[in-house]
Structures are given as C-alpha cells and as structure tokens.
Structure 1
C-alpha cells in the first residue's frame, strides 16, 4: 500500500515538473513566434499551450482518482483519468485542425522569417520536452491518463525537431514555404497520435464492450455449466483501464440452494477472470422468472 502511495506521489511530482517546463517553453515560443514571424514556431507554442492544459488536467485527474468512494460517489473518481485522456486527445485533434487551416493560408502567402530565433527556441523546446518525455515514459505504459500527457509531450518534441530543421533550411536556403509545410506536417502528426487515444477513451466513457471480450463465447461456455439454463441480460464495461465489470441474469434449470449457487458463481468468476480479465462480476440468479431472455436487453 505504501509503495502504491509513493508511486502516485512520484507521478504527481513528475507532472508538476513537466507543467513548469512547458509554461516556460510556451511563453518563450509565443514571444519568439511573434518577433520572428514564424507560423511553425507559433503552432509549436499553441501545441505547447495545449500540453500545459493537458498536463494540468492529468494532474487534477491523478489527484482525484486517489479519492475514496462514498455513499454519494460509490465508484469514487475512478473515471477521472479516463475523462482527462478524452479531453486531452480531443484537444490534440482540435489544435491539429486549426494548424491545418493556418498552414494553408500561410502557404498561399509565404513570409520572410527570422530563422535564428526559430532555431534557438526550437532547440530549447526539444531539450525541455525531451526531459518531460523521459519523466513520464514509465507511467505512460500502464495508465491512459499519463499516456495522454506523454503523447502530447512526445508529439511536441517531434514538432520542435521539425521546426529546428525548418529553421536551418530557412536560414541557409531561404525556403520560407518550409514553415507552412512543417506546420501542416505537425498537424497531421497530431491527428495520427491523438485519434487512437480519443477512440479508446470514448469507448470506455460510452460503456462499450472492451476489445478482446466476446460475449457470445462467454455465454456459450457458461451455458454448459451444470444447472445453467441460459445466461442473458448481459452487460460488460470498463470503469477504468484496470477494472472490467460484467453483470448478467442466470436462468437456472433447478431451484437450487444459495450455497449451491455460490459454488457455481465461484467457477464462473474464476473463468471470467482467467480468460478475459473481468474482475467484477454481478450475476442475478433466476428460476422460472417471467422476463426477457435476450442476451442484450436495452434497460
């Protein structure tokens, strides 16, 4: 328990450090972008600002997720980090659309840019974002919220590398259109990185059946258990990344004792956990009950 508390504190500290680094980067890039006239630098600043927001959201969600459940919040704040992942991935996609529009307008009317400022500020952003990426890398492997923050930082570091290359091309070859091209490339990369996380978090929020869980297979197996007539009225969903729930009605062939049903339930729980990682099972036993026997019932 103490180790888990320490891990959560470490996550929070790493997020705070990353927030401070990105506030500094954003402010310097906005000023630099205005002075130099670089849209790519301003787009990188806009993305960095979205990083600051995403990191703040991730930090708040990470704090909330540790709060205990209560009678008014029986699930606690388990979904806080999923909501954070959804908001963060959504902002990635919105920022991408804005950048695409801006890059097309600038491509039509290219402008001369102060490339030295672009080069230095993008180099600073690479270092700062690189440090943030290293800080969050481990946590991103097992947590959707931290992964959303990590993706923001990783895409921004990649964008800063592109801006640096663009600055060098503009400095030595006066290729001003590269600024617009890089902005477009950054935007497309944001869409590529953000869409999958957006889809995953949306599925959890919409209570969709998790990937890899086939309800038909579950029913076919459980219907073969002794005394089971038919499993029906099935719901499977995720509360968060680590908690998968199944609830269902179980029509029984005989009017068995509660102790006999408990023994059957233990078998079902063991099977569901081993095969599908379902760790919360709620099954309602029935005998000759007159209700809908469809597998999926719209409540």
Structure 2
C-alpha cells in the first residue's frame, strides 16, 4: 500500500509539473508572437512557433498521462497504457514538422533580410530562457524513465537552447548590425529539432510496432529459460513494451515431461522470477506444450 501511495503521489507531481509548464509556455508563446511581429525578428517568431508546439506537446503529454491511469475495462483490456507512447510519437513528429517550416522561412528571409528591433529580441529571448529553464527543471527527473515526459522535456530543452541562440543573435544584431544572423540561427534551431526529433520518433515507432526493445537480447532470454531442468525449448517468442514500465513476454514452452498443472505453476513462478531478475520482464504469458506437433522456431509470425 505504501508503494502504491508513493507511486500515485509521483504521478500527481508529474501531472502538476506538466500543468505548470503548459501555463509558462502559453505566456512565453504569446509574448514572443507579439514581440516577433513588432521587432520583425524571424528567429523570435520561429522560437514562438516552437514554443507553441511545446504547448501542444505538453497538452498531449498531460492528457496521455491522465488517460494512462484509467482502469482497464471489458472493451479496453489494457486501459490506455499505450497513450503515452502515442503521445511521444505525435510530439516527435511535430518537432520535425516545425523544423521543416522553419527551414523554409529561414531561406526565404535570408534572401530578403530585414532590419530587426534587437532590444526587444534580447529581452523576450531572455524571458523565454527563464520560463523554459524552469519547465526543463520540473520535468527532468520524470523524463529519465518515461518516454511521454521525455518527448515533452526535449521540446522544452530545445526551445530553451533556441532562446539562447536568439539571445546571442539579438546581441550580435544590436552591436554589430549582423541582421543575417537571424536566419542562420533559425536554420541551426531547425536542424537541431530534426536531430532530437528523429531519435525520439524512431524509439516511439519501435514501441508502437511492438518491436523487441533494443536493450533486450532475445536469444539470451531463450537460452536462460532453456537452461531450466524441465524445459525443452522456449519458442514462438514475442517481447514488447506495453508502456515504459511494462515489458511483456509471450511464448510457447515445450516441456521435457508431461507436467501436472500444479507442477507447471511451480515452473512458471521460477521462470517469471528469473526473467524479471535478469531482463526486467514483468509480465509473462506462456503456453505449455508436450509433444505438440508444430514449429519449434524461436520466432514465428502468428
């Protein structure tokens, strides 16, 4: 009960931190849009666009976090546990889409440079750094073990770095009249968004497609189970992430002997403990078999 209460408290804190970050980014986005239009800074407007994508990503993450707590039902036997993976996929995709839009706008502005009110750019980018910095600190801890929060965290981290770049650009424009740097910084921001977005998109796609997690050596899992005395061969194996903290294994188990139900239960308990200890697999579904005439390949698409 103490563990359950502590876990619930952590989830509530995670949701609260997300909500605070949403409110901070709404304020930043509005001020940057106004400031970008007044100053004529494309870098500031691009930062505002990125911040707006942050707001969307944070809202998606917040809703997904809330949904993931919903209980399972007859027509939703897993509940909404995969909502956070879907949210991470959507957030990663928006990072890349925003980056492409920024590249197009930066190239267009580079060909038609404009004078920019640098003082406003400097102050607004400084405010954005503080706001995003607070949000980054709020989400950092949870981002280490939750792909949904990590997607929101990356949005905020890249936006904080983008604001730093805009600040530097504003200083260069103010003291050296290097107005072309506005477009260059926008391009750098866009390329960085693609870099971080692609990695997250690849990870979330693998999870949605039920691929074997990268850190799992499936052959090692099979070898570990096959070493047990009463086991002949583990086959028809599937290992996937249902969510960040749920790793499932489904397989057929060919037995050396015709075990009774109680004997198999004892063996199953041993297998579950072994897989959890060695590979952190916390949900095991095994179909026992004895002299069944079917394929005994480790991987079978069925």
TM-score range relative to shorter protein: over 0.9
Specify the alignment match of 1:173 in structure 2: 176
Aligned to 1:57: 60
The count of residues paired between Structure 1 and Structure 2 equals 299
Instruction: Tell me how far apart the structure 1 counterparts of residues 48 and 180 of structure 2 sit (CA, whole Å).
Output: 19
| Displacement of 1:222 | 2.2
1:41 positional shift: 0.6
Match of 2:32 in 1: 29
Distance, in Å, in 2 between the alignment partners of 1:289 and 1:263 is 21
- 1:47 equivalenced with 2:38 (yes/no): no
What's 1:252 paired with?
Answer: 255
Kindly report which structure 2 residues correspond to 1:185-196, keeping only aligned pairs within 5 A, or say none: 185-196=188-199
CA distance in 1, matches of 2:237, 2:145: 28
Distance 1:9 1:227 in 2: 45
State TM-score, norm by structure 1.
0.96
**SS of equivalent to 1:73:** coil
Deviations 1:195-249 (A, max 9, x none): 2222111111110001121122222232232232222111111101111011111
Match of 1:131 among 119, 123, 134: 134
- Deviation, structure 1 residue 253: 2.4
Q: Distance in 2 between matches of 1:232 and 1:69?
A: 29
Gap change, CA 1:142 and 1:221, over 3 Å in 2: closer
2:245 to 225, 242, 245: 242
| Matching of residue 17 in structure 1 with residue 30 in structure 2 | no
Runs of 4+ in 1 over 3 A off after TM superposition: none
Instruction: Find the partner of 1:282 among 276, 281, 285.
Output: 285
Encode CA deviations 1:33-80: one digit per residue, 9 max, x unaligned: 112111101100000000000010011011111111111111111111
Does structure 1 residue 157 correspond to structure 2 residue 167? no
- C-alpha distance in structure 1 between counterparts of 2:135 and 2:222, whole Å: 46
Distance in 1 of aligned mates of 2:82 and 2:219: 27
Is 1:104 paired with 2:111? no
* CA distance in 2 between partners of 1:220 and 1:7 (Å): 37
Per the alignment, do residues 54 and 273 of structure 1 end up closer, same or farther by CA in structure 2, a change over 3 Å counting? same
Work out the CA distance in 2 between the residues paired with 1:252 and 1:16.
52
Report the counterpart of residue 119 of structure 2 in structure 1: 116
Q: CA deviation at 1:158?
A: 0.8
Q: How does 1:70-85 map to 2 (within 5 A)?
A: 70-85=73-88
CA distance in 1, matches of 2:256, 2:7: 45
CA distance in structure 2 between the partners assigned to 1:272 and 1:95 by the alignment: 42
Cα distance change on mapping 1:151 and 1:229 into 2, 3 Å: same
Alpha-carbon offset, residue 266 of structure 1? 2.0
Q: CA RMSD in A?
A: 1.3
Structure 1: which 5+ residue stretches go unaligned? none
Q: Distance in 1 between matches of 2:209 and 2:158?
A: 27
Q: Distance in 2 between matches of 1:128 and 1:212?
A: 35
State TM-score, norm by structure 2. 0.95
